[in-house]
Amino acid sequence: MTAQTNAAPAMTGETAIEIAKLNKWYGTFHVLRDIDLVVSRGERIVIAGPSGSGKSTLIRCINRLEEHQAGKIIVDGTELTHDLKNIDKVRSEVGMVFQHFNLFPHLTILENCTLAPIWVRKIPKREAEEIAMHFLTKVRIPDQAHKYPGQLSGGQQQRVAIARALCMRPKIMLFDEPTSALDPEMIKEVLDTMIELAEEGMTMLCVTHEMGFAQAVAHRVIFMDQGQIVEQNTPKEFFNNPRSERTKLFLSQIL
C-alpha cells in the first residue's frame, strides 16, 4: 500500500450520490434512520460498524437492491423512485461486489464478464470479449478466462467479480465486505486490486473491516450503529481521535 493513495487523485467537487433523510423499514423494524450522505465524484468512503447496523442495507439501497420508504437517493443526477427507467439507468452506472462473489457457476470467467455487456449494454460479442480480457488482465488473471468459477481460488473469484463489474464501465463501485469470506493470504490480492481502482479515481463506497485499507485509501470513514450514521471523519481523525463512545467501543474490538 502506498501512503500516497488517499492524497491523490483529487475529488472534483461534483456530486456523485446524494442521500437525504433516508429511512427504511423491514416490516416494522426501522433499519435505516435519517441517513444524510453526499458523496463527491472521485470520493472513497469506507463504511464501518457492528454487524446488523445497516451497512449492507444502505449500500444495497443505492442500486435499488433494496427499496427505501422515505427520503431520497439521487445517483448521478437520477432519483431512485419506482420508475423502472431510472432504476435501470442507475444500475448501469453502479457496479457492486459482494462478500460471496456471486459469479454464475455454469458460465466461464469470460462469459461471466461478457453477459451483461452483451445483453444489457448491447455490445457486440467480440468487443465485449476484448473489454473483458482488458479487465481480466487488469486484475491479473487473463489466463483463467476459460475456466469456471469453481476452478478458481476465492481471491481469484473475487477479482473476477471486480473485473465483471468494471466491464459495465460503472461510474461508482460499491463493495460489501469483499474480503471477509477470503482466507488471509488472499485478502491482499483483492485489496491491491481495489487500491489500484482507487488510484484511478473511481468513486467507491466500501463496507469493510480492513482498517489498513481504510487508512490508506479512504477520504472519509463513516461509522454506523443501529441504522444511523453515528460519526464520520477522515481516517486519521476517525482512528486517532474517535468522538463517540460507540465508535471507541467498536475500535477497541476490531483494532
Cα 73 from Cα 21, distance rounded (Å): 9
Residue ranges of alpha helices (H) inside 23-153 are: 55-62, 84-93, 109-119, 125-138
For Mg ion, the closer CB: 78 or 228: 228
Amino acid at the residue 108: T
Helical spans, DSSP H, in the chain = 55-62, 84-93, 109-119, 125-138, 154-166, 184-199, 211-217, 235-240, 245-254
Q: Does residue 56 touch Mg ion according to CB under 5 A?
A: yes
CA neighbor of 35 nearest in space, from 226, 174, 234: 226
Cβ 211 to ligand ADP, closest distance in Å?
A: 16
Residue 63 binds ligand ADP, judged by CB under 6 A: no
Residue 45 in contact with ligand ADP, rule: CB under 6 A: no
Nearer of residues 54 and 149 to ligand ADP, judged by Cβ: 54
> 40 or 53, CB closer to ligand ADP?
53
Toward ligand ADP, which CB reaches closer, 33 or 138? 33
Specify the stretch interacting with ligand ADP by CB under 6 A; choose among 48-56, 68-76, 139-147, 151-159. Answer: 48-56
DSSP state of 50: -
For residue 63, the partner it binds in ligand ADP, Mg ion, none, with Cβ less than 5 to 8 A by kind, is none
Residue 52 makes contact with ligand ADP by CB under 6 A: yes
Interface with ligand ADP includes 57 (CB under 6 A)?
yes
**Whether the Cβ atoms of residue 1 and residue 195 lie closer than 8 Å to each other:** yes
Question: What are the residues binding ligand ADP (CB under 6 A)?
Answer: 26, 29, 31, 49, 51-57
